[in-house]
A and B are shown apart, each in its own frame.
Chain A
Amino acid sequence: KTLGERECPCRQTSKSLPSVERLVLMGIALQVCHAACNGELYSRPFIESFEETPMLLAVLTYMSYGILTIFGYLRDFMREWKIEKCHTAREREEQKDFVPLYQDFENFYTRNIYMRIRDSWNRPICSVPGATFDLVECSSNDYNWTFEYTGRVVKDVINLGSYNYLGFAENTGACATAAGEVTVKFGVGVASTRQEMGNLDRHEELEKLAASFLGVESAMVFGMGFATNSMNIPALVGKGCLILSDELNHASLVLGARLSSSTIRVFKHNNMQSLEKLLRDAIVHGQPRTHRPWKKILILMEGIYSMEGSIIRLPEVIALKKKYKAYLYLDEAHSIGALGLNGRGVVEYFGLDPKDVDVMMGTFTKSFSAAGGYVGGRKDLIDYLRTHSHSAIYATTMSLPVVEQILTSMKCIMGKDGTTIGLSRIQRLAENTVYFRRRLQEMGFIIYGNNDSPVVPMMLYMPAKLGAFGREMLKRNIGVVGVGFPATPIIESRARFCISAAHTKEMLDRALDVISEVGDLLHLKYSRHKVLPSLDRPFDETTYEENEE
Chain B
Amino acid sequence: MLKTVVLHNVLMETVIRRRRSDSVKMAAGQQWVLVEMVQAFYEAPAYHLILEGILILWIIRLLFSKTYKLQERSDLTEKEKEELIEEWQPEPLVPLVPKDHPSLNYDVVTGPPSHRIIVNGKECINFASFNFLGLLDSERVKLKALSSLKKYGVGTCGPRGFYGTFDVHLELEERLAKFMRTEEAIIYSYGFATIASAIPAYSKRGDIVFVDEAACFSIQKGLQASRSFVKYFKHNDMEDLERLLKEQEIEDQKNPRKARVIRRFIVVEGLYINAADICPLPELVKLKYKYKVRIFLEESMSFGVLGEYGRGVTEHFGVNIDDIDLISANMENALASIGGFCCGRSFVIDHQRLSGQGYCFSASLPPMLASAAIEALNIMEEDPGIFRVLQDKCKHMHKALQGTPGLKTVGEPLTPALHLLLENSTGSRTNDLKLLRAIVDYSLDRQIALTLARYLDKEERFLPPPSIRVVVTVEQTQEEMEKAAQCIREAAVKILK
Contact = CB atoms under 8 A, between A and B. Distances in A.
A383 B104 contact: yes
A183 B371 CA distance: 12
A360 B200 CA distance: 28
A485 interface: no
Contacts of B264: 99
A496 B143 CA distance: 37
B357 A125 contact: no
Nearest to B323: A94
A386 B169 CA distance: 32
A176 B154 contact: yes
Contact of B106 (A186, A194, A396): A194
Nearest to A164: B157
Contact of B332 (A121, A191, A365, A371): A191
Interface string B85-100: 1001111111111000
A102 B333 CA distance: 31
Nearest to A114: B354
Contact of B225 (A176, A195, A259, A401): A259
A161 B88 contact: no
B113 A399 contact: no
A365 B363 contact: yes
Interface string B320-334: 001001000010110
A479 B163 contact: yes
B167 interface: yes
Contacts of A97: 292
Nearest to B163: A161
A176 B149 contact: yes
B179 interface: no
Interface string A382-398: 01111110110111101
B134 to A, nearest CB: 10
Given A99-B260, A284-B81, A402 B366 contact: yes
Nearest to A201: B110
B424 interface: no
Contacts of B338: 188-190, 223, 396, 398-399, 402
Contacts of A204: 108
Contact of A102 (B150, B155, B202, B217): B202
A163 B157 contact: yes
A387 B454 CA distance: 10
A109 to B, nearest CB: 9
B154 A402 contact: yes
B330 to A, nearest CB: 7
Nearest to B135: A189
Contacts of A269: none
Contacts of B193: 224, 226-227, 230
B361 A226 contact: yes
Contacts of B350: 89
Interface string B201-224: 010000000000000111001001
Contacts of A161: 158, 162-163
A395 B354 CA distance: 24
B393 interface: no
B306 interface: no
Nearest to B171: A124
Contacts of A255: 225, 357
A123 interface: yes
B189 interface: yes
B154 A284 contact: no
A184 B106 contact: no
A231 B456 CA distance: 12
Contact of B162 (A136, A180, A358, A481): A481
B166 A180 contact: no
B361 A284 contact: no
B451 to A, nearest CB: 4
Contact of B161 (A122, A298, A359): A122
A119 to B, nearest CB: 12
B125 interface: no
B94 A236 contact: yes
Nearest to B326: A101
Given A92-B347, A191-B131, A199 B189 contact: no
Interface stretch (A50-58, A68-76, A167-175, A424-432): A167-175
Contact of A188 (B81, B160, B165, B372): B372
Given A92-B322, A195-B103, A125 B155 contact: no
A140 to B, nearest CB: 15
B202 A399 contact: no
B292 A369 contact: no
Contacts of A297: 90
Contacts of B453: 196
Contacts of B456: 388, 390, 393-394
Contact of A171 (B101, B107, B114, B149): B149
A121 B160 CA distance: 8
Nearest to B94: A384
A200 interface: yes
A200 B93 contact: no
A185 B143 CA distance: 10
Contact of A91 (B113, B126, B347, B358): B347
Nearest to A195: B454
Interface in B418-461: 449, 451-456, 459
A236 to B, nearest CB: 6
Contacts of A280: 81, 85
A199 B157 contact: no
Interface stretch (A127-135, A310-318, A412-420, A443-451): A127-135
A192 interface: yes
B418 to A, nearest CB: 14
A393 B455 contact: yes
Contacts of A231: 192, 221
Nearest to B357: A251
A383 B110 contact: no
Nearest to B138: A187
Contacts of B369: 188, 399, 402
A374 interface: no
B112 interface: yes
B85 A283 contact: yes
A327 interface: yes
B113 A198 contact: yes
A126 interface: yes
A473 interface: no
Contact of A191 (B113, B153, B170): B113
Contacts of A127: 151-152
A245 interface: no
B7 interface: no
Given A122-B161, A192-B129, A369-B153, 12 more contacts: A94-B289, A99-B263, A122-B353, A170-B153, A179-B154, A186-B111, A195-B454, A284-B84, A296-B90, A323-B85, A326-B90, A371-B155
19 contacts: A114-B354, A126-B167, A163-B158, A176-B153, A179-B149, A187-B113, A195-B106, A196-B128, A197-B107, A197-B119, A200-B109, A200-B110, A251-B360, A255-B225, A366-B157, A380-B94, A386-B104, A387-B104, A399-B366
> 10 closest Cβ contacts across the A-B interface?
A224-B190, A369-B155, A384-B94, A226-B362, A197-B128, A189-B336, A162-B157, A365-B363, A199-B106, A89-B347
Interface of B: 76, 81, 84-85, 88-97, 101, 103-104, 106-114, 117, 119, 126, 128-131, 135-138, 141-143, 145-146, 149-158, 160-167, 169-170, 189-193, 202, 216-218, 221, 224-225, 260-264, 289, 292, 294, 322, 325, 330, 332-333, 335-338, 345-348, 350-351, 353-355, 357-358, 360-363, 365-366, 368-369, 372, 449, 451-456, 459, 469
